[in-house]
């Protein structure tokens, strides 16, 4: 199922549970886990961004990859565009999966549309 992203200034609790909602997280600038890509491309232009994922909640997409991505320490997603019409590459793998799944959620964000990995193919 695709979700058209929308940027919210002051997210409510309901917003933080609605897939596709984005909001700026100025408090996250102090986070030591921001990605090298964010520091290089965006730190002087905008605050880090949270995106709400289905059945997971908000995630700072400007964070470095999680520790399970071996060999990518400090790196994160490449983000282009202006919120809410962002494109993120490679694909979005969020959280530790269960029952043999690598990720809790895996999908794509292209031109402001968040979509599931419906093919179930290899996760990037």
Domain boundaries, the chain: 3-116
pLDDT at 40 over 90: yes
24: its two tokens: 């700026």
Edge-to-edge strands, sheet with 113-116: 3-4, 113-116, 103-110, 87-96, 78-80
pLDDT at 63 over 70: yes
Sign of CA dihedral 26, 31, 64, 58: negative
pLDDT at 27 over 80: yes
pLDDT band at 57 (very low <50, low <70, confident <90, very high): confident
7: its two tokens: 């940027």
pTM of the complete model: 0.83
pLDDT at 119 over 80: no
Give the pLDDT score at 124: 39
Pairwise CA distance, residues 86 & 60, whole Å:
13
Pairwise CA distance, residues 80 & 98, whole Å:
31
The phi-psi region of residue 54 (left if phi > 0; otherwise alpha if psi is between -120 and 50; otherwise beta) is: beta
Give the pLDDT score at 55: 83
Give the pLDDT score at 105: 81
pLDDT at 109 over 90: yes
């Amino acid at each position: 199922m695709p979700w058209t992203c929308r940027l919210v200034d002051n997210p409510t609790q309901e917003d933080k549970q609605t897939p596709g909602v984005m909001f700026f997280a100025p408090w996250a600038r102090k986070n030591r886990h921001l990605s090298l890509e964010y520091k290089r491309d965006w730190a002087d232009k905008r605050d880090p961004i949270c995106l709400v994922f289905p059945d997971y909640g908000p995630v700072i997409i400007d964070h470095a990859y999680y520790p399970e991505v071996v060999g990518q320490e400090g790196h994160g997603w490449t983000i282009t565009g202006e919120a809410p019409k962002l494109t993120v590459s490679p694909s979005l793998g969020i959280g530790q999966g269960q029952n043999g799944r690598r990720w809790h959620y895996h999908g794509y964000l292209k031109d402001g549309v968040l979509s599931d990995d419906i093919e179930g193919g290899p996760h990037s």
